[in-house]
């Protein structure tokens, strides 16, 4: 007994500590997901009160200030200033605060994701229900449109629209909706093909229910969980696509505080001022990772086939 008590007091090896930590994450996956979402979502919602500076206005006297924990380096004209807690994550070439622009960039990314996924989900769900329920020529026409939408490269479409319409918030929404509606249509069509042959649909037909009532009252409610899970999984992809388009100059225009624009403006300074591109890039990674993990967790909770695994 004394040996067991002594063993419990001894520090665990690093490998054992890591295994315990990973086991805790697997047992309680919502904890790290919630932390990442709170760190990103809440500051974005309350950016006007949380952000310490103006995201569009900077001072050239504070140009390329490093993060607060970085000390001054070099001497003479090649000296770099020390970081300041006034700008915890440093500043960019125009002297704008990086932390403030990341917070407002999260708001921009969430707005793009919510609007585009809502529009794409509504469009794809309606077309998928029509294709799966009515079949025949309606199904063939809609599915050919889906094939066309899936075959168009997103970057090429964005560049064409950017030239025709100019880089703007509306251009990004049009590009994302034009691509993502087809994913909802294919998924909803497949589920509808299975549901329309179920007994409860046959009973509704015998009772004299119209096609619209059968779709709205009997088929669509059984697709809500699937649509919600898909929408959650698409948020990370939309954020990544919006950042890519902004990085290439086909998305949001300057000086909008978008993560992709921030990474693009810092790519030439990656050696001398690494923080300009590193922190926005880290924000993109955390946002996409947290939304993907949340989508996987939600799918396990809403899918009865996976709930008890």
- Spans of all domains in the chain: 60-66+86-302
* Nearest to 36, CA basis, from 278, 236, 257: 236
Q: What are phi and psi of 204, to 5 degrees?
A: -65, -40
Sign, CA torsion 145/146/148/153? positive
Q: How far apart are CA 242 and CA 263, in angstroms?
A: 12
Distances in whole angstroms, Cα of residue 182 to Cα of each of 121, 145, 156: 9, 8, 17
- Whether the ω angle into residue 299 lies within 30 degrees of 0, i.e. cis, is no
What is the structure's pLDDT at 80? Answer: 65
Distances in whole angstroms, Cα of residue 223 to Cα of each of 2, 216, 234, 275: 59, 11, 16, 44
Rg (CA), the chain: 25
Mean pLDDT by 10 residues, the chain (309 residues): 46 50 54 70 83 83 81 58 79 88 89 92 93 89 90 82 81 88 92 87 85 88 88 88 85 84 85 86 87 80 59
What is the structure's pLDDT at 6? Answer: 42
Q: How far apart are CA 192 and CA 227, in angstroms?
A: 12
- ∠171-226-44 over CA atoms, to 5°? 45
Name the β-bridge partners of 80: 73
Q: How far apart are CA 216 and CA 272, in angstroms?
A: 59
DSSP for 87-113 reads STT-B-TT--BHHHHHHHHHHHHHHHH
* Nearest to 104, CA basis, from 251, 247, 256: 256
Assigned token pair, 251: 């998305």
* Nearest to 246, CA basis, from 262, 233, 223, 226: 262
Query: Could you tell me the pTM of the whole model?
Result: 0.82
What is the structure's pLDDT at 128? Answer: 93
Distances in whole angstroms, Cα of residue 97 to Cα of each of 72, 100, 175: 18, 5, 30
Q: Rounded to the nearest 10 degrees, how much is the dihedral formed by the CA atoms of 276, 278, 279, 281?
A: 120
**DSSP letter at 273?**
-
- ∠138-184-281 over CA atoms, to 5°? 150
Assigned token pair, 228: 């919600």
DSSP for 216-264 reads IIIIGGGGHHHHHHHHHHHHHHHHHHHHHHHHHTSSSPTTS--HHHHHH
CB 149 within 8 A of CB 182: yes
Q: How far apart are CA 125 and CA 118, in angstroms?
A: 10
CATH level 3 topology of 60-66+86-302: MetI-like fold (1.10.3720)
């Amino acid at each position: 007994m004394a040996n067991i008590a002594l063993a419990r007091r001894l520090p665990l090896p690093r490998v054992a500590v890591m295994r315990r930590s990973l086991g805790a994450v697997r047992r309680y996956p919502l904890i790290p997901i919630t932390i990442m979402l709170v760190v990103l979502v809440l500051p974005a919602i309350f950016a006007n009160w949380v952000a310490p500076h103006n995201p569009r206005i900077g001072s050239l006297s504070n140009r390329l200030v490093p993060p607060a924990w970085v000390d001054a380096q070099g001497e003479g004209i090649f000296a770099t200033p020390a970081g300041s807690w006034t700008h915890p994550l440093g500043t960019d070439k125009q002297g704008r605060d990086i932390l403030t622009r990341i917070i407002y960039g999260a708001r921009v990314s969430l707005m793009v994701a919510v609007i585009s996924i809502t529009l794409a989900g509504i469009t794809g769900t309606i077309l998928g229900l029509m294709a799966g329920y009515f079949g025949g020529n309606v199904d063939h026409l809609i599915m050919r449109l889906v094939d066309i939408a899936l075959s168009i490269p997103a970057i090429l479409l964005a560049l064409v629209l950017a030239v025709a319409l100019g880089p703007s918030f509306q251009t990004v929404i049009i590009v994302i909706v034009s691509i993502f509606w087809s994913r909802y249509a294919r998924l909803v069509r497949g589920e509808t093909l299975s549901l329309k042959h179920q007994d409860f649909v046959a009973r509704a037909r015998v009772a004299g229910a119209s096609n619209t009532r059968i779709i709205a009252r009997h088929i669509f409610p059984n697709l809500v969980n699937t649509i919600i899970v898909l929408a959650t999984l698409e948020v990370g992809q939309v954020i990544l696509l919006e950042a890519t388009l902004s990085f290439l100059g086909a998305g949001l225009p300057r000086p909008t505080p978008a993560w992709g624009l921030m990474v693009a403006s810092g790519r030439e300074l990656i050696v001398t001022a690494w923080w300009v591109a590193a922190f926005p890039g880290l924000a993109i990674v955390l946002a996409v990772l947290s939304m993907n993990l949340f989508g996987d967790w939600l799918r396990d909770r809403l899918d009865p086939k996976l709930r008890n695994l």
